[in-house]
Structures are given as C-alpha cells and as structure tokens.
C-alpha cells in the first residue's frame, strides 16, 4: 500500500515499522514461556494493597504456577482444547497465573466483570457456556443464582491476597471475614485456587506432562478470548479475539511507544485487567517487555494508589479520563507527583484536553490518547510521542487503515464526517455464535466502529459523535436497552428512555427519562431498584420524570430528541 493512502505514516518514528503482519509468537502460551525464560527471577507482578501490604511473583513463578493450572484444567477438570474458562476477579496475583494457565491449556479465556450482578453473570455464562470458572471469594455468593439453569461443572475460588506472604495474607483474610464481612461462607462445591495448583503439580510430576504440548497445536487464528461487549440493543456479544489479534495488537501498541525499555519499566495497573485495554497493553505488552507490573485491586478511592506511588518507581501508567482527572485533584498527588514517570496512556473514553494539560503540568510528562474497541483487541490509533494533538485520537497504528465512510460504506472526502471503518490484523474473527450480528459490523473486510469521525490532511483522526446510543461511563460501556429493560420490570414505571449526558467526573453519565404509573415513585427509589439488578456504573445518575416520551410515527422512542434537549439544557446552564 502506498504511503499516499496512509498519510499518517509520515508521523511514525524513524525506526518504527509501518507494517506488522506476522505475530512475533504463534500463540500466547509460547509468548509467556519465552519471556519467562528470559527474565526468570525478575519481579513480574506486585499486588499493592491500600495500606502498602504487598506480594510479588517473579516471571519464573508465574510461569510455573500457570503451568500447574494448565495441567489442572486439562488433567483434573478434564477440559480440552477450545473449552471456555471464565475468569472473574479484580487485579491480583491470581489473575495472570489463571489467565496464562487457561491460554497455555489451549482453552478460551472469558473475562467477566467481577462487579456484575448475578443476573448479568447469568446472561454471560449462558452465552459463553464455560466449562470452568475462576472467581474471587468476595463475589462467590452470586454463583448459585448466576448458574441456575446452566451450571458450571468446575468452580475454582481464589482470594485477593492469594500469594501474598503469610502474615499480610492472614491479616487481610481475617479483616474480610470478621471485620468488613466482605467474604461470605461458600456453600457450593468448589476447589480453592491454591489446591488446584497443588493438584496440577502432582499430575505434572507423576505423569511427566509437558505443558508445551497443550499449546503446540494452538494456531495464531485460534480463539484466545471471548471479550464481551454489546450494542444499542444491550445484547451481550462475545468478541472472538484470536491469539494473532492480541499478540499483534500488543506489538502495534509497543511500536507507538519507542521510549519504553525492556526489563526496566515499572507499570502501574489501576485499570482492571478484565477490561480489554488493560488486558492487551498492561498484562500482555508489559509482560512482553519484562516489566514489573504493580497491580491495584481497586483504584477507588484514589488514595488506594498512594502507597504504590510512594513505594515503587512508577515509570508508566495507563488510565481513563476519570482517573487522570481524579489524580489532578488529589492533594497527596499534587504534593508528591511521581518522579520517575516517563509517560501515561489514556483509552476507554475521551481524554479531555484540560485534564491532559493539567496532568502534564503536575507530572511533567504527557498523556498519550489512543482509540480502540473491544472488537479490535482494542487499539486502532495512538498519538505519537512528541506529536500529540489535543482532542485527537491520533494516527492509526502499524498495519491498520482507518477511513471515514457514509451510510453506504463509501469513503467521504477528507475533512468530512463519516463513520470510522477499520481494517487490520487486530480486528476480531467475529461475534461468538452470532453470524447475523457479525455480518452487520464486518463488511468486505472492514469493521464498522459506529463512531463518527473526521480525518485531517495529515491522517490524524478526531471523534465527533457516536453513531451508536451506547453510553461510556469512566471507560465502561452502558447500553441503553439493558437499563431500560431493568426499568421496565418496575411495577411503578410505564416506559422509559435512557441516554448519556456529559459528566465532568465520568465523561458521561446515565440519564433516564421515566413515565410513571405510580406518581409517588421517587428518583431515589428508582436508583435503589436499579442497584439491585445492575452494576453500579449502569445505574442512572439522573432521573427525569415525563408525562410522555417523544416517539416516531411508528411508535419508536426518539432518544435523539431527548439527547438534543438535554444537551441544549446543559449548554444553557
């Protein structure tokens, strides 16, 4: 392809590859083995608790433990190549061990948000049909309701303090059990994660199992992950991401950041690794670099990050606009900004220019904004170092072509608005068991993003609108129909419509317009009802009561009219 068709390559660094078509490893199991052998006893992951308690695993330990878990899955649990394994936990030392073990076993990893309600878990489990589930004990009480009607045969339970030294692990366990009571008794058949590793080791030694044999048959185009997303309908869809998708996108991302050094970086991982951005960039890319990864189980409140910044020489961090904005307003962060930070990257939601400028003023280092979607593994574009343009999502990463198209899929003239279409080796294989939905977004090799953008003469892209009705709250997708379906089950609600409105702290907030049958129903009661059925970020932050909702001639509720009036009202304030 001529560079005239990709003007953005002029902004690539002198040593940067414009094309990366071949994955550097055949599969992720091979990647983990090779990098672990190279970096051995160097620290790979450190879990840092809010009070500073911590634990660390070396590359060699992660490799050995994930081997043991792979053997457990294949030889004890009886799974085979291609079987799905759900992983539901926050950032902790168990996450990389379980994730790498699943992939080494030749199984398919299904990331699940640990904050999901039992209803949300049930919908994802029903679709993915996992043969095993690895879950954090704090949320295990949801399992009976979540698996009713479609049981999961193998359930492995871990804990947030897994693999920490004995004393802090014991203290945290006692606090969770007796003080804050965040861990409840488990009353269903399960095995503890540590016991599963022990069983795997025993089988490996007894039968002299070569773990590499499990993933020798895994090809680059085999599915590595089912990463769930949705659409305007809110219907859960598992994006089938292959080993090649993820490995090449990892390489594409690293190519855009040439200042990163192998074996020297200390990365702060506050974004949850079940989110595709942190999974590809933080988990895979920084493992590939031989970096030390500082895992934050929960970044809320932001003081949970204080000890990590104090105790470790953080050189790189990723986040969403909400995180950077919050740190800009934390006095402890202002008083002692990180001294070793080289740069930060932002994804998941739009990075506000004022937030980026303020963060750079505080730290002396820029925030690089990128763009991508679950279906693209996720990175499609990035702002090149030293060539950042405020408000822009940057230029396409290597081997990636973006263009703006009209409703018929034809390219629009440069500078005009159109839906962003993407082509590259990181684009998913399709949606799990949903050929019709796949055909709607994959057209003649192009992935239709649903975002409206503009490309300038240099090849920089800017998002100007969202074709979809999806709402993005702190980097997490909220689908209006899902919230509306919840509201529809309330006996005091006749009908509702949900939109996203600008919010200074979360980028967007969920707003519900409600027509009541029970006039005594309050906003507080509606929010409380939603909290019983939806994850917190999906709960409407704002509720406006209406006598009726605007509708088309065929009776379809016009969200765009509600959105337009809401935007006008906010602008007039």
- CA–CA dist 252, 255 (Å, integer): 5
pLDDT of residue 20: 92
Q: How confident is the model at residue 419 (pLDDT cuts 50, 70, 90)?
A: very high
Mean pLDDT of the chain: 92
Strand order in the sheet with 191-192: 191-192, 154-158, 132-136, 84-88, 108-111, 223-229, 237-242
Spatial distance between the Cα atoms of 108 and 84, rounded to a whole number of angstroms:
5
pLDDT score recorded for residue 189? 94
Q: What is the pTM of this model?
A: 0.88
CA–CA separation, 431 vs 233, rounded Å? 15
- As a whole number of angstroms, the distance between CA 522 and CA 501 comes to 21
Residue 1's pLDDT is 43
State how far the alpha carbon of 183 is from the alpha carbons of 158, 296, 415, in Å. 11, 19, 55
List pLDDT tens digits, range 75-125: 999 999 999 999 999 999 999 999 999 999 999 999 999 989 999 999 999
Cα–Cα separations (whole angstroms), residue 49 to 54, 56, 385, 415: 6, 12, 32, 48
pLDDT band at 294 (very low <50, low <70, confident <90, very high): very high
542 confidence band (pLDDT: 50, 70, 90): very high
User: CA–CA separation, 307 vs 346, rounded Å?
Assistant: 22
* pLDDT score for 3: 67
Domains assigned to the chain: 58-218 (3.40.50.980), 401-466 (2.30.38.10), 473-572 (3.30.300.30)
pLDDT digits (tens, 9 = 90+) for 441-474: 999 999 999 998 999 999 999 988 777 778 889 9
Cβ(367)–Cβ(317) under 8 Å? no
pLDDT band at 232 (very low <50, low <70, confident <90, very high): very low
Tokens of 100: 């790498």
Q: What percentage of the chain carries pLDDT values higher than 90? A: 74
Write the CB contacts of 27 (distance below 8 Å, at least 6 apart in sequence).
Answer: 103, 215, 218, 219, 220, 222, 224, 243, 247
Residue from 72, 73, 89, 69 nearest 81 by CA: 73
The 8-class DSSP code of residue 394 comes to B
Q: Dig out the tokens for 436 from the structure.
A: 């019709």
């Amino acid at each position: 392809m001529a560079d005239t068709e990709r003007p953005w390559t002029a902004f690539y660094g002198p040593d940067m590859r414009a094309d990366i078509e071949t994955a550097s490893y055949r599969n992720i199991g091979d990647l983990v083995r090779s990098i672990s052998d190279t970096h051995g006893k160097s620290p790979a992951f450190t879990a840092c608790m809010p009070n500073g308690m911590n634990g660390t695993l070396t590359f060699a330990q992660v490799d050995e433990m994930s081997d043991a878990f792979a053997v457990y899955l294949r030889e004890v649990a009886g799974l085979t190549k291609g079987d799905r394994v759900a992983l539901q936990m926050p950032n902790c030392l168990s996450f990389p061990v379980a994730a790498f073990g699943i992939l080494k076993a030749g199984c398919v990893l299904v990331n699940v948000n640990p904050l999901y309600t039992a209803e949300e878990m049930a919908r994802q489990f029903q679709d993915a049909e996992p043969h095993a589930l690895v879950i954090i004990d704090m949320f295990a009480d949801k399992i009976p309701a979540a698996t009713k009607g479609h049981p999961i045969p193998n359930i492995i339970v871990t804990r947030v303090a897994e693999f920490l030294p004995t004393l802090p692990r014991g203290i945290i366990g006692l606090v969770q059990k007796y003080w804050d009571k965040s861990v409840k008794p488990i009353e269903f058949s399960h095995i503890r994660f540590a016991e599963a590793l022990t069983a795997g080791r025993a089988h490996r030694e007894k039968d002299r199992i070569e773990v590499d044999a499990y993933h020798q048959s895994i090809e680059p185009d085999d599915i590595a992950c089912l990463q769930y997303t949705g659409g305007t309908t809110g219907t859960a869809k598992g994006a089938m991401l292959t080993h090649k998708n993820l490995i090449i996108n990892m390489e594409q991302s690293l190519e855009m950041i040439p200042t990163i050094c192998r074996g020297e970086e200390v990365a702060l991982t506050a974004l949850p690794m079940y989110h595709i951005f942190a999974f590809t960039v933080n988990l895979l890319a920084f493992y590939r670099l031989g970096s030390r990864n500082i895992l934050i189980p929960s970044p809320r409140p932001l003081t949970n990050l204080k000890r990590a910044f104090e105790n470790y020489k953080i050189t790189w961090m990723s986040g969403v606009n909400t995180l950077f904005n919050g740190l800009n307003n934390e006095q402890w962060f202002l008083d002692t900004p990180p001294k070793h930070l080289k740069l930060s990257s932002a994804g998941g939601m739009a990075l506000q220019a004022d937030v980026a400028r303020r963060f750079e003023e505080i730290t002396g280092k820029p925030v690089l904004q990128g763009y991508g979607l679950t279906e693209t593994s996720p990175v499609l574009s990035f702002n090149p170092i030293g060539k950042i343009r405020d408000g822009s999502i940057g230029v396409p990463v290597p081997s990636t072509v973006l263009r703006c198209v009209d409703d018929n899929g034809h390219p629009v003239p440069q500078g005009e608005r159109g839906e962003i279409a993407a082509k590259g080796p990181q684009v998913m294989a399709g949606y799990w068991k949903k050929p019709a939905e796949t055909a709607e977004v994959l057209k003649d090799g192009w992935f239709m993003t649903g975002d409206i953008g503009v490309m300038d003469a240099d090849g920089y892209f800017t998002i100007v609108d969202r074709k979809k009705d999806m709402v993005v709250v702190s980097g997490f997708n909220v689908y209006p129909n899902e919230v509306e379906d919840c509201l529809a089950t309330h006996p005091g609600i006749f009908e509702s419509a949900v939109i996203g409105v600008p919010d200074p702290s979360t980028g967007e907030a969920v707003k519900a317009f409600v027509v009541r049958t029970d006039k005594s129903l309050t906003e507080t009661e509606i929010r409380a009802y939603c909290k019983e059925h939806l994850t917190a970020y999906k709960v409407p932050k704002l509720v406006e009561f209406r006598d009726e909702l605007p509708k088309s001639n065929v009776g379809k509720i016009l969200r765009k009219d509600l959105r337009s009036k809401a935007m006008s009202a906010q602008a007039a304030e």
